[in-house]
């Protein structure tokens, strides 16, 4: 039995039946990391010794027949923008290449309280800014399905690690689609929780009005199990929702009868690749055959979400990243003339090109004279988009579309013109802007054998409904659009 | 709208970013593309009667009781400081 092929739920079951032990499972993952990480580049830091130690501790608890949470003893990878006490948290940036947080993010505390085994920290686009993992200071992550292609971004390390069996599940983040896009390109599951559902405490800030940590998993059942661990009220996050949390696994029902699924015609026209469109429409047919009602809807403001998202997220990023000045922590330039020169050189040397581009754009849109034309205008368009989705949810329960306009593209293919790269996010950012939740899951392969991802978009706090629909699709197709194929 | 090297230099100064001449060259073109794309696109929409939306979900101020709680140890916080002395962050001289 290849232990790393088991999902978290399957492994949890076998641990309880004493068919496998936590140390065996952990060693299997550490071996896989040794075998593959040089090639894929998913991990920035591997915590081998700590993982082995934790595995022994958890196994002893199992040996004493203690009742333990489902993810106890399950080996996980963590995006490198989630603070881990005593372990480098670089955000994929030279700026934080020496930053060892003195505290754990709330989501890490929750994983620890649930006795998960942390394998290490995962590569990502610098400060989560990118769609292809090409902006990391720690080098390119390769797509496990084709090493000449990108894994998507910004959470490329998370999705590639889960796809290539270097982690049983991962925690990523999703500010504009980072977890969903990478999940789509790597053929795994990624969920964007409704804003306020998962604590942001210790998740390094990018665009605070949209930031959320996000599970990246092998299948939908694992996704629900991880959500049960990481969701919940946190007094340390001022926008944390203080009630209304549910048992996400209770929604794992094989039933979509009567569920109204909307297909926005704008999601299926224009830039989307023909094969991607076909696979997602095939999935719609699967839902229909299982008793769901499919309805074509229209979201004419779809194309305006991207410019509004880039204005708002860059404005927030330029403000959030002002904290990196070479004084209290992070990179400091060696040679400087005075305090201001220290700031400028530390930031100039510490940040990469994409981060600089967004800081400059954010500074520009917030400037006097530009504020109304750009930032305020974007906030108005955000309201229009929000209302358009609210109206759509009067008619349908869920919206279905592609996660990305294409499958994974070649490394270097979209690095010349930044707009080419930004357009990859067109299908994911409306969710973040409008305060919705969404899950990306595999729905087949294109003719080159690359995974295609589809996205089920739910109302605010509608995680249960999208999990149920995703679970039903997976149950009835075997996942991956019915093709049983692994990396 | 045309963006000049001087515009980029001014923005970089405001954002406290040191840029190399090559970076300024590249970023001038990039910024012009991104600025014009986003402005032209959003200007297709009439937003005269729309209120800007800051928060998509209802948010309210969060207070807690003013009680002393365990905080970080000074030494732990200073561990990440590029330069420190006598329990303080060290910065270049700012007052002549």
Selected residue with higher pLDDT from B76 and A478: B76
- Taking each helix axis from N to C end, the angle separating A8-16 and A220-230, rounded to the nearest 10 degrees, works out to 80
pLDDT at residue number B60: 76
Tell whether the model's pLDDT for residue A283 goes beyond 90: yes
H helices of A304-376, in order, are 305-320, 339-350, 353-366
CB-based contact (8 Å) between B72 and chain A? yes
Tell whether the model's pLDDT for residue B90 goes beyond 70: yes
Among the partner residues B11, B37, B53, nearest to A360 by beta-carbon distance: B11
Q: Does the distance separating the beta carbons of A386 and B56 come in below 8 Å? A: yes
**Contact present, A330 and A99 (Cβ < 8 Å):** yes
Among the partner residues A364, A379, A417, nearest to B35 by beta-carbon distance: A364
Instruction: Calculate mean pLDDT across residues A399-406.
Output: 97
**Contact present, A388 and A299 (Cβ < 8 Å):** yes
The nearest CA of chain A is from the CA of B45 a distance in Å of 8
Tell whether the model's pLDDT for residue A484 goes beyond 60: no
ipTM: 0.96
Instruction: Calculate mean pLDDT across residues A19-38.
Output: 98
Tell whether the model's pLDDT for residue A31 goes beyond 80: yes
- Best interface-test mutation with A: which of B31, B36, B46, B57 has the largest number of A CBs within 10 A? B57
pLDDT at residue number A307: 98
pLDDT at residue number A222: 97
Q: Does the distance separating the beta carbons of A99 and B27 come in below 8 Å? A: no
Task: Tell me the DSSP string of A410-426.
Answer: BTTTTSSSHHHHHGGGG
Residue % of chain A over a pLDDT of 90: 95
pLDDT at residue number B30: 96
**Quick one: which of B37, B32, A365 has its CA closest to B24?**
B32
The nearest CA of chain B is from the CA of A139 a distance in Å of 20
Instruction: Calculate mean pLDDT across residues A298-314.
Output: 98
The nearest CA of chain A is from the CA of B1 a distance in Å of 12
Tell whether the model's pLDDT for residue A480 goes beyond 70: no
Residue-wise pLDDT tens digits, A143-185 = 999 999 999 999 999 999 999 999 999 999 999 999 999 999 9
Instruction: For residue A325, give the chain B residue with the closest CA.
Output: B16
Taking the mean position of all CA atoms in its chain, how far away is CA A341? Answer: 36
Tell whether the model's pLDDT for residue A17 goes beyond 90: yes
pLDDT at residue number B63: 82
The nearest CA of chain B is from the CA of A381 a distance in Å of 7
Domain definitions of chain A by residue range? 3-254
Sort out which chain B residues have CB atoms less than 8 A from A379's CB and list them: 52-54
Name the β-bridge partners of A192.
A438
Helix (H) or strand (E) holding A263: strand A260-264
Residue-wise pLDDT tens digits, A126-145 = 999 999 999 999 999 999 99
d(CA A295, CA A398): 10
Instruction: For residue B92, give the chain A residue with the closest CA.
Output: A339
HSE-CB for A39 with a 13 A CA cutoff: 15
Among the partner residues A102, A336, A357, nearest to B72 by beta-carbon distance: A102
Q: Does the distance separating the beta carbons of A373 and B39 come in below 8 Å? A: yes
Instruction: Calculate mean pLDDT across residues A58-84.
Output: 98
CATH of A3-254, one of 3.90.1300.10, 3.90.190.20, 3.10.20.90, 3.40.50.970: 3.90.1300.10
User: Looking up tokens 């997220």, which residue turns up?
Assistant: A313
Integer CA distances (angstroms), A77 to A95, A124, A467, in order: 22, 12, 22
Residue-wise pLDDT tens digits, B28-87 = 999 999 999 999 999 999 999 999 999 998 877 778 889 998 889 999 999 999 999 999
Tell whether the model's pLDDT for residue A271 goes beyond 90: no
Helix (H) or strand (E) holding A452: strand A451-458
**Quick one: which of A321, A216, A305, A454 has its CA closest to B56?**
A305
Q: Which two tokens stand for residue B26?
A: 């590249």
Residue-wise pLDDT tens digits, A415-448 = 988 988 999 999 999 999 999 999 999 999 999 9
Sort out which chain A residues have CB atoms less than 8 A from B64's CB and list them: 235
Sort out which chain A residues have CB atoms less than 8 A from B23's CB and list them: 353, 356
What are the structural domains of chain B? 5-43 (1.10.20.60)
Tally the residues of chain B.
96
Q: Is the dihedral of CA A349, A351, A357, A358 positive or negative?
A: negative
pTM of the model: 0.97
Q: Does the distance separating the beta carbons of B27 and A360 come in below 8 Å? A: yes
HSE-CB for A23 with a 13 A CA cutoff: 9
Selected residue with higher pLDDT from A451 and A244: A451
Tell whether the model's pLDDT for residue A12 goes beyond 80: yes
Instruction: For residue B72, give the chain A residue with the closest CA.
Output: A102
Residue-wise pLDDT tens digits, A243-266 = 889 999 999 999 999 999 999 999
Q: Which two tokens stand for residue A384?
A: 């229009």
- In sequence order, the 6+-apart residues with CB closer than 8 A to the CB of B46 are none
Task: Tell me the DSSP string of A324-343.
Answer: -SSSSSS---S--SSHHHHH
Exposed/middle/buried for residue A274 (C-beta within 10 Å: 0-12, 13-18, 19+): exposed
A486 pLDDT band, cuts 50/70/90, is low
pLDDT at residue number A378: 98
pLDDT at residue number A478: 82
pLDDT at residue number A244: 87
pLDDT at residue number A174: 98
The nearest CA of chain B is from the CA of A233 a distance in Å of 13
pLDDT at residue number A260: 98
């Amino acid at each position: 039995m290849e232990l790393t092929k088991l999902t978290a739920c399957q492994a949890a079951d076998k641990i309880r039946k004493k068919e496998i032990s936590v140390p065996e499972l952990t060693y299997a993952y550490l071996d896989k990391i040794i075998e593959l990480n040089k090639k894929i580049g998913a991990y920035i830091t591997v915590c081998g010794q700590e993982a082995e130690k934790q595995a022994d501790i958890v196994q002893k608890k199992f040996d004493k027949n203690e009742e333990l949470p489902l993810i106890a003893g399950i080996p996980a990878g963590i995006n490198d923008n989630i603070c881990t006490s005593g372990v480098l948290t670089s955000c994929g940036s030279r700026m934080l290449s020496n930053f060892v947080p003195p505290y754990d993010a709330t989501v890490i505390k929750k994983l620890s309280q649930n006795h998960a085994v942390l394998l290490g920290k995962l590569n990502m686009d610098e400060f989560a800014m990118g769609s292809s993992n090409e902006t990391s200071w720690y080098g390119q992550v390769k797509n496990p399905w084709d090493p000449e292609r990108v894994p998507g971004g910004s959470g490329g390390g998370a999705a590639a690690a889960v796809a290539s069996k270097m982690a049983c599940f991962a925690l990523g983040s999703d500010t504009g689609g980072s977890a969903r896009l990478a999940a789509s390109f790597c053929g795994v599951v990624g969920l964007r929780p409704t804003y306020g559902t998962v604590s942001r405490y210790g998740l390094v800030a990018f665009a605070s009005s949209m930031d959320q940590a996000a599970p990246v998993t092998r299948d939908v059942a694992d996704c629900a199990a991880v959500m049960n661990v990481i969701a919940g009220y946190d007094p340390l996050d001022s926008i944390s929702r203080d009630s209304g949390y549910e048992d996400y696994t209770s929604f794992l029902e094989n039933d979509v009868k009567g569920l109204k699924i909307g297909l926005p015609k704008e999601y299926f026209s224009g830039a989307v690749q023909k094969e991607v469109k076909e696979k997602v429409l095939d999935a719609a047919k699967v839902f229909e055959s299982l008793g769901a009602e499919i309805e074509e809807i229209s979201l004419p403001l779809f194309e305006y979400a991207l410019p509004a998202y880039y204005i708002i997220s860059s404005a927030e990023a330029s403000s959030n990243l002002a904290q990196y000045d070479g004084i209290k922590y992070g990179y400091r330039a060696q040679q400087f003339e005075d305090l201001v020169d220290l700031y400028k050189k530390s930031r100039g040397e510490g940040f990469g090109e994409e981060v600089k581009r967004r800081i400059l754009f954010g500074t520009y849109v917030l400037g006097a004279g530009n504020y109304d034309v750009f930032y305020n205008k974007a906030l108005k368009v955000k309201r229009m988009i929000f209302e358009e989705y609210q109206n759509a949810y009067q008619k349908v329960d869920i919206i279905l579309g592609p996660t990305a306009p294409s499958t994974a593209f070649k490394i270097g293919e979209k690095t010349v013109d930044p707009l080419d790269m930004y357009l990859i996010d067109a299908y994911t950012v409306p969710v973040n802007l409008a305060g919705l939740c969404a899950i990306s899951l595999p729905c087949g392969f294109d003719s080159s054998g690359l995974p295609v991802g589809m996205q089920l978009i739910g109302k605010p706090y509608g995680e249960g409904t999208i999990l149920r629909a995703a679970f039903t699709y997976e149950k009835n197709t075997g996942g991956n659009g019915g093709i049983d194929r692994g990396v | 709208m045309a963006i000049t090297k001087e515009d980029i230099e001014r923005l970089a100064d405001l954002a406290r970013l040191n840029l190399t001449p090559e970076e300024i060259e590249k970023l001038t073109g990039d910024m012009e593309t991104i600025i014009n794309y986003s402005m032209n696109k959003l200007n297709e929409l009439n937003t005269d009667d729309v209120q800007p939306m800051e928060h998509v979900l209802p948010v309210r101020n969060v207070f807690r009781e003013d009680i002393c709680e365990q905080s970080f140890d000074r030494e732990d916080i200073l561990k990440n400081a590029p330069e420190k002395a006598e329990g303080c962050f060290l910065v270049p001289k700012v007052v002549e």
